[in-house]
Amino acid sequence: MKAIFATQFALLLSYATAHTIFQELHVNGVSQGKLNGIRVPSTQSFVSDVSSKDIICNGGQIPFYQPISDKVISVPAGAELTAEWHSSLNNDPVWASVDPLPDNHRGPILVYLAKVPNALQAKVEGLNWFKIYHEGYDAATGLWATQKLIQNKGLVSFKVPTCIEPGQYLMRAEVIALHSATYEAGAQFFLSCAQLDITGGGNVVPAAVAKFPGAYNSK
């Protein structure tokens, strides 16, 4: 009986505390290495204050995993990128039943790019972010993007636009869990920024841009 109770308690605890971390990027199907080229948060916790600097790339209340990668990932324009998400950084079996995230953490997945002078720069405020991927609720399948992420074992793929200028970019990938969003500031944002050097491409500077903080409000 004690063993059964302990198992049930562990499962409930995992659902209550397990979340997700973007921790690996694949370029045209080729892994760039775990934690490489990504500013990875040190825990799988979430950002809820959309007015804080943390909503840009994380790394404030949730410190970055150390050392922060100094790799800039080379990406040809038009490439297919795959972001890989998991519930822990070390394949901890405690989180295996809720990897890459609990099923009740339903919501959209979004990816933004922002052109920067240097993808390794610490300053992330004031950048012009443009969206390259957004999937929410799919009425045809009855699934949220996060449910598809679970089906795909933590992988979500999207294309880099062929028309954007070459150069260095930050790529902001986020999962938004809406299970607690019935109250103000209840949405949970899981996000990381990857460091990219986009080659080829064209000369388009996207006109529709977002600012973080500012793009979201807490209501």
Give pLDDT, residue 6: 37
List the beta strands (DSSP E) in 18-164: 21-27, 30-31, 38-39, 73-76, 80-86, 109-115, 129-135, 137-138, 143-144, 155-159
Cis peptide, bond prior to residue 100, ω within 30 of zero: yes
CATH number at residue 50: 2.70.50.70
- Provide the token pair at 46: 């979430």
The verdict on pTM exceeding 0.75 is yes
Specify if 24 maps to a domain.
Answer: yes
User: What's the pLDDT score for residue 10?
Assistant: 40
Q: What is the pLDDT of residues 144-173, one digit of tens each?
A: 999 999 999 999 999 999 999 999 999 999
Would 87 be classed as within a structural domain?
yes
* Domain assignment of residue 216, yes or no: no
3-state secondary structure of 94: helix
Examine residue 41 and state whether it is found in any structural domain, yes or no.
Answer: yes
Task: State pLDDT tens for residues 18-35.
Answer: 689 999 999 999 999 999
Q: Which domain holds residue 54?
A: 2-199
pLDDT reported for residue 13: 41
The total domain count for the chain is 1
Q: What per-residue confidence (pLDDT) applies to 93?
A: 84
- What's the pLDDT at 7? 40
> How confident is the model at residue 164, as a pLDDT?
98
Q: Is residue 208 part of a domain?
A: no
Backbone phi, then psi, for 55, in 5-degree steps? -70, -10
Longest dimension (CA), the chain: 66
For the chain, which ranges sit under pLDDT 70? 1-18, 181-182, 219
Please check whether residue 117 lies inside any domain of the structure: yes
What are the tokens at 200? 């080829």
Residue 215 in any domain: the answer is no
Residue 218 lies in a domain: no
Enter the tokens of residue 151.
Answer: 């089906």
| CA pair distance 69, 80, nearest whole angstrom | 22
User: Which pLDDT value is given to residue 16?
Assistant: 47
150-166 as b/e: b if 16+ CB within 10 A: beeebebebebeeebee
